[in-house]
Amino acid sequence: MLHRLRHAASDLEIGGSLEGVPYGETRFVSYEELMRLPQVSVTVSDDTNFGKTVEISGVELEKLPGVLGAKRGASMVIALSDDKYAAHYPAAYLHAHHPLLVLRVNGKQPANWPLGVDGVPMGPYMVSHASYTPSFRVLSHEDEAQVPWSVVRMDVRRESEVYAPIEPQGEAASDPVVQQGYVIAKQSCFRCHSRLGEGGLKSNRHWGDLAEKAKNDPKYFDAYVVDPKKINPKSEMAASPEYDAATLGALRRYFASFSGSTP
């Protein structure tokens, strides 16, 4: 199923820990081949990308590592969008929420999908769920639906390897507030900010840059997280107006623990 070369713009790029594929190389799978895999159809009424009830069908993300020939233990799926936004699906998320790699919306192929809320096409691929019930809450961060669109690549990875660079280190690891900040950062910030090659590359500010802001300019850090457009009208960062002082404090304490480390 995995091809060395891209044959069509609609091919999905596949990377990560794959049997028989040198790490760092990627392969391609076609839309038609994905359509031949077992399909699941569900009705979606609560995905903000659609703004209305739609019928979606596609392949369950939790089946992908198996059908793509992932190496043992590589059960995490990462969906990468064309702007290098990375949605992470650890095993716990896959089992709790059963996300789908969407292949059809209301029976139609990507070219005929409804446009996204900003009027932009949502293909070639996207991820959505039947309905979404948050499964955890940390301070004022609630387990958030990971529903990227413009998805062009899927990676299968070992969770421990992906999170290793952003795990709290040394003394910070035993600080419960740092650990709360870590849970939030790994689900939210890690989609666009990266460290040592892991995480999304939508932002060119890496973990070390955020660490310096958290340590040296806490007011700026907090204001940026709550409402980035207020500071930078062209910001492409997601706002988190729901974060209270304790949540922002936990994020700062977590990021500050990376201050002075390799960016």
The residues of the shown chain that bind ligand HEC, judged by CB under 6 A, are 85, 185, 188-189, 191-193, 202-203, 205, 209-210, 213, 221, 224-225, 228, 232, 235-238, 240, 251
Contact 225, 244 (CB under 8 A): no
- The residue to which tokens 């070219």 are assigned: 111
Residue closer to ligand HEC by CB (options 166, 251) is 251
Residue closer to ligand HEC by CB (options 65, 165) is 165
State the sign of the Cα–Cα–Cα–Cα dihedral 31, 33, 35, 39: negative
Residue closer to ligand HEC by CB (options 28, 89) is 89
Cα 94 to Cα 83: distance, rounded to the nearest angstrom? 23
Residue closer to ligand HEC by CB (options 71, 205) is 205
Residue closer to ligand HEC by CB (options 115, 238) is 238
Cα 262 to Cα 235: distance, rounded to the nearest angstrom? 25
Contact 162, 190 (CB under 8 A): no
Determine phi and psi for 159, rounding to 5 degrees. -55, -40
Least distance to ligand HEC, CB of residue 207, Å: 10
Residue 6 amino acid letter: R
Least distance to ligand HEC, CB of residue 138, Å: 12
Residue 94 amino acid letter: L
Least distance to ligand HEC, CB of residue 172, Å: 16
Residue closer to ligand HEC by CB (options 27, 88) is 88
Cα 20 to Cα 69: distance, rounded to the nearest angstrom? 9
- Residues 6 or more apart whose CB falls under 8 angstroms from that of 144 comprise 134, 187, 188
- HSE-up of 58 (CA within 13 Å, CB side)? 28
Least distance to ligand HEC, CB of residue 41, Å: 29
Give yes or no for a cis peptide into 65 (omega within 30° of 0): no
Cα 261 to Cα 263: distance, rounded to the nearest angstrom? 6
Least distance to ligand HEC, CB of residue 214, Å: 7
Least distance to ligand HEC, CB of residue 173, Å: 19
Residue closer to ligand HEC by CB (options 27, 253) is 253
Least distance to ligand HEC, CB of residue 99, Å: 18
